[in-house]
Amino acid sequence: MQNRNEDFNTNELDAIASATAPDLGIDPAECIAPEPTDPCTIVIFGATGDLTARKLIPALFHLYLNDGLPRPFQIVGSARSHMDDQQFRNKMESALKDAEVLDPEKWPTFSTHLHYRPVDYEDPATFDRLAESLRELDSSQHTQGNRIFYIALPPTLYKTVAEMIGRAGLSTENTNGNGWSRMVVEKPFGVNLQTALELDQSLHQHFQEHQIFRIDHYLAKETVQNILMFRFANSLFEPIWNRRYIDHVSITATETLGVEHRAGYYERSGVLRDMFQNHMMQLLALTAMEPPSRFEADLVRDEKGKVFNSLRPFATNNLKDHLVLAQYGAGKADDHQLPAYRDEPGVDPASLTPTFAMMKLFLDNWRWQGVPFYMTSGKRLAQKITEIAIQFKSVPHSLFRHTLGPSIVANRLTLGIYPEEKITLKFQTKNPGARVCLRTVTMDFNYQQNYAGPVLDAYEKVLIDCMIGDQMLFWRQDGVEKSWSFLTPILDRCEDCGDQQAMLEFYPAGSMGPEAIKRLTSNIGNR
C-alpha cells in the first residue's frame, strides 16, 4: 500500500463554486458592525492593571476606530491609585503605543471620553462618590444611566466589589437614575464547586443572572463560534456526527509558553482549573451538543448544559485510566534551554501542580455512547495548537485488501482554531498510475479565504455583546456548576487524598508531552 500525504488545493474549485453560487447580498462589513447599542458608560475596576492596558483599552479604541461604540459613550477607569483624568489618559495613551495600535489623529477625541475615579475597594464611601460622579456624567454626557462594570481585578475581589457596587445603588436597573446595569467577570469562577456556589450567591445578592456576564475568551474566538455554524448550517456532516460514524474526538489546546509571571495564580490553579474547567469544557460542549431549536443564548446554553449533564464521572479510585497529569521539567526549544516549572520564578521547588493534562471522557447519551473524547492541554509543549479533530471510523469492509492490505486510513475532519483558522478533511484518493495505490489528501478551507474585511479581537466581541446584552458567548451559572461538579471529585482525589505525587508525571519542556499519554491512547483505532 502506498499512502502519501499530499495537499489537494481546492481554491480553483472554490472559485468556480462561488461564481455560480447565489449571491445572498451580504456585505462582509455588515457582519462586523455591531447592532446599534444604547448609550452607556463602561466602568473598569482595576484600571491601572495589566488587563486594562493590554486588552481592554486597545479593544475599546479599535472599536471606536471602526465605529463600533455606542453614541454617546464614556469610559471611567477606577482603581486604588490616585490620579486625575489627564494622568489616566496619558497612561492609556502609552498603553496603546505599547500595543502598537495608537492612531495619533483619532486619539485626542477618543481620550476626551476617558475619565478616572479612585476607589478603595473596602470603603463604601468611595463607591458612593463614584456613583455620584457617574450620575453627573450621565447628565452632562447623556449616557442615560446604562452601565457596564468590568471587574478587571483578582477573583478574591469579585465579591467585595459586587457588594460595593450594589450598596452604592448601582446594580438596580431602571430606577434611581440607572438604566441597565451589567457586570463582567472573568474566570476563575471559584476554585471548586463549593466556592463557585459561594461566589455566585454573593454576586446574586445585588445582580440578577441576566446582569452577570462571565467571560470565556475561547467563546469569543471566531473559529470557536464557527463550530456551531459549521455543524448546524450545513446538512452534510450532522447526519454522521455520532457514534455510528465517529471513532473518537480529540480536543487539543497545547501551548509553548510556560507559566510566565503568573506563578502566584497558577500554583493554586494548575491546568485543570486554568484550562479544563472553562475553555476545554466549552469546546467539548460545542462539539457534542444537540442543535438548539433557535440560535438564542438560553437555548444554546440549555443544550450545553445537557452535554455537561451527560459527562460520565471518573471512577476516582482508578483515575489513571482516565487521566494523565504531568508537569514540565527542564528542556529545550530551538536550542534554547528552558527551565523546569519548579525553577520558574515564584514556583515552589517541590510543587506538585500539573501543567499538562490529558483526559479520556465519555458522554452517556444516545448520540455519543462509547465514543471517547480525548482532551489535552498543557504548557511548554513543542507547539501551540488549538484544534478539534473528529476521527471517523474506518470503512466497514476493505475491498482493496488484496492489493492494499487490510487497513485504509480513515477520514479525519479537523476544526483548526490556532495557529491556522481552518477546516480540513482528509480522505483517500487513487494515486495516478496503472497500479492501485491510495493516497491521503487534504481538502482545506482557510477561514480568511475570500475575506479581506476587518476582524474583531476576542475582547472587542465580548465588549460589544455586553453592550447589546447578548449572553450567548458567556457562561451561565448552571454551566459553571455542572463543569465544577464533574471536576471537583477529580481535584479532591488528586489533591487531598495523598494521590497528587503518585499521579504526577514529568515531561521535558519543549517536548510533545509525557510518555504516559500512551496509557490513554494505546487502543485508539482498535475499537
Phi, psi of 470 (to 5 degrees): -95, 115
163 binding ligand BG6? (CB under 6 A): no
State the number of binding residues for ligand BG6 (CB under 6 A). 4
| Cβ-closest position to ligand BG6 | 274
387 binding ligand BG6? (CB under 6 A): no
Give the footprint of ligand BG6 on residues 215-254 (CB under 6 A). 253
Dihedral angle at the C-alpha atoms of 51, 52, 54, 60, nearest 10 degrees?
130
Length of the chain: 527
Which residue lies nearer to ligand BG6 by CB, 252 or 440? 252
Q: Could you please report the per-residue DSSP string of 1-18?
A: ----EEEE--HHHHHHHH
Amino acid residing at 432: P
Contacts 24+ apart (CB under 8 A), 195-202: 196/480, 196/481, 196/484, 197/481, 199/155, 199/158, 199/159, 200/477, 200/480, 200/481, 202/158, 202/159, 202/162, 202/163
Find the shortest distance in angstroms from Cβ 300 to ligand BG6: 21
Which residue lies nearer to ligand BG6 by CB, 138 or 274? 274
Which residue lies nearer to ligand BG6 by CB, 41 or 327? 327
Element (H, E) at 350: none
Is position 279 annotated as part of the catalytic site? Answer: yes
Find the shortest distance in angstroms from Cβ 194 to ligand BG6: 21
Find the shortest distance in angstroms from Cβ 421 to ligand BG6: 12
Beta bridge pairs of residue 248: 391
274 binding ligand BG6? (CB under 6 A): yes
CB 159 within 8 A of CB 212: no
Find the shortest distance in angstroms from Cβ 386 to ligand BG6: 5
409: Cβ–Cβ under 8 A, 6 or more apart, which residues? Answer: 3, 426, 428, 438, 440
| Interface pick for ligand BG6 out of 111, 211, 252, 386 (rule CB under 6 A) | 386
Phi, psi of 137 (to 5 degrees): -60, -40
Q: Hey, what's the cell of 169?
A: 445603588
Catalytic residue among 113, 115, 217, 279: 279
Find the shortest distance in angstroms from Cβ 255 to ligand BG6: 5
Neighbours of 21 (CB within 10 A): 9
Which residue lies nearer to ligand BG6 by CB, 111 or 278? 278
Which residue lies nearer to ligand BG6 by CB, 253 or 300? 253
Q: Hey, what's the cell of 445?
A: 478551507
255 binding ligand BG6? (CB under 6 A): yes
Which residue lies nearer to ligand BG6 by CB, 168 or 253? 253
Find the shortest distance in angstroms from Cβ 257 to ligand BG6: 6
Q: Can you tell me the distance from the alpha carbon of 57 to that of 274, in angstroms, rounded to the nearest whole number?
A: 24
Residues that bind ligand BG6 (CB under 6 A): 253, 255, 274, 386
For the annotated catalytic residues, the residue numbers are 279
